[in-house]
Structure formats: structure tokens, C-alpha cells
Amino acid sequence: MERMPEGPRILAFAGSLRKGSFNRMLLRYATLGAREAGAEVEELGPEHLMLPLYDGDLEANGSFPEPVAAWRAKIRQCEGLLIASPEYNHGISGVLKNAIDWASRPPSVFRGKVAASFGATPGSQGTARSQMSLRICLSAVGVWVVPRTVLIARANEAFDANGELRDPRQVQALTSLGRALVQAVRAGLADV
Ligand SMILES: Cc1cc2nc3c(=O)[nH]c(=O)nc-3n(C[C@H](O)[C@H](O)[C@H](O)COP(=O)(O)O)c2cc1C
């Protein structure tokens, strides 16, 4: 895989489309950690995940609808992924699954990438179940996942009026996870 001398390229995104997404609010902390570790991070807005529902008829002859082609190119051009995953009915959101499904189609743009995932929910389990589900899905498409995660429960109370996490331990955990992703990319897992 082509590597940039400036540092690993990381793509950060959330599996939620809504404006006030708690999960998107987490991205800045993990992004900060990855940047501290020397990575170039691009944070994607929800518009990048607004893709048509996967339909095999739309990928005839190995070509993809324009927004899907753009999404696949973003993944192809990075080495690591920071994924903030909501939990819907104990699994990952349809938005995130659909985006993963499109990117997994041949030629898959996922193979050899490294990811770190985390999530926030107003519920008590902090998206633990969706993180398990996401790991299974990412493993299926050849993505290495950093073993630890960060789970933000009671998200409706976790942020202050400025949208900042109140608990410095949660901030630290997320920045640390961002740094860990960069270390994992640098460790060369992608070449295994
Ligand atoms: C269809 C649906 C199913 C949900 N299922 C769960 C769930 O299983 N566990 C949970 O903790 N929260 C669940 N929630 C609540 C979400 O965690 C909450 O809407 C959260 O704010 C979504 O993430 P976001 O803030 O990034 O948009 C569900 C929400 C929706 C809309």
C-alpha cells in the first residue's frame, strides 16, 4: 500500500446522519489523539454516508453510483479508520452497515486497513453490543480492529451545553484510542 511520508492517513466518521449525533461529537477527541500521534485525519460529515441502499443492480460492470464511488475512494486512500458507532436494536445502524456493505464489494477497499471503534448512547450499555457486532462485520471485510474501545453511556448527560464531554477520563480514553490506532497502523498490521 502507498504510504504518505507525513504520517498515516486516517478517516473518521460516525454511523449516524442526525445533526446532533452524540457519536459524531465523539469524533473530535479520537481525531485529536490521532493527530497528536502524527496522523493526517479527515473527519467526514454525514453527507458522505448518505448512500443508496445496497442494490446489486447498481454495481453492474464493476461501476458504482457516484456517491458510492466517492465513499469507496475515501476508504481506499486511507490507512486507518476511526468509527463512532451508534447502537440500534443491539446492532450497528443501517447507515453504517450499508456504507460497509458498499465498500466491501469487489474490488474491496477495506483489506488491510486498521480501525478503532467507539460509541455513545443515552442507554446504559454504552453501545457495547453494537461494538461487538461492528467487530464481526469489520473482521469479515479484512479490517484489523484495535482490541480496546470506549463506551459512553448516558450520552444525554455526558456532554455539556457546548457539546464537550464533561468527564476528562472519557476525553482521555478517546484521545488515547486515537493514538493507539496510529500506533497500530504504524506497526504494519496492514501488511500481515
Ligand atoms: C431504531 C433505534 C434503535 C435503537 N436501539 C438502541 C439500542 O439497542 N441500544 C441503545 O443503547 N440505544 C438504542 N437507540 C438509541 C440510540 O442510542 C440513540 O438514538 C442515539 O442518540 C443514536 O446515536 P446518535 O446520537 O449518534 O445519533 C436506538 C435508537 C433508534 C432510532
Residue 41 lies in a domain: yes
Residue 1 lies in a domain: no
pLDDT of residue 169: 98
Question: Grid coordinates in use for 33?
Answer: 489523539
Q: Strands (DSSP E) along the chain, which ranges? A: 9-14, 40-43, 80-84, 114-120, 144-145, 151-152
Residue 15 lies in a domain: yes
Smallest CA separation from ligand 1 atom 14, residue:
88
In the DSSP assignment, the letter for residue 57 is: G
Check if 88 has its Cβ closer than 6 Å to any atom of ligand 1: yes
Mean pLDDT of 157-166: 97
Q: Yes or no: say if 60 and 97 are a contact pair by the CB < 8 Å rule.
A: no
Residue 61 lies in a domain: yes
Percent of the chain's residues with pLDDT above 90? 91
Residue 2 lies in a domain: no
Residue 2 has pLDDT above 80, yes or no: no
Q: Yes or no: say if 190 and 12 are a contact pair by the CB < 8 Å rule.
A: no
d(CA 111, CA 63): 19
Q: How far is the CA of 107 from the centre of ligand 1 (A)?
A: 32
CATH number at residue 168: 3.40.50.360
Choose which residue among 88, 92, 127 to substitute to test ligand 1 binding: the one with the highest number of ligand atoms within 8 A of its C-beta. Answer: 88
Answer whether the bond into residue 107 is a cis peptide, omega within 30°. Answer: yes
d(CA 32, CA 8): 14
| Tally of CB atoms within 10 A around 163 | 11
Q: pTM for the complete prediction? A: 0.96
In the DSSP assignment, the letter for residue 92 is: -
Q: Yes or no: say if 151 and 118 are a contact pair by the CB < 8 Å rule.
A: yes
Number of domains in the chain: 1
d(CA 89, CA 4): 39
Check if 154 has its Cβ closer than 6 Å to any atom of ligand 1: no
Band of the pLDDT at 4, cuts 50, 70, 90? very low
Question: Grid coordinates in use for 114?
Answer: 486498521
Average pLDDT of the chain is 95
Residue 4 lies in a domain: no
Residue 32 has pLDDT above 70, yes or no: yes
Mean pLDDT of 72-83: 98
Atom of ligand 1 nearest to the CA of 86: 23
Host domain of residue 41: 9-191
**pLDDT tens-digit series, residues 100-132:** 999 999 999 998 899 999 999 999 999 999 999
Q: How far is the CA of 156 from the centre of ligand 1 (A)?
A: 11
Residue 3 lies in a domain: no
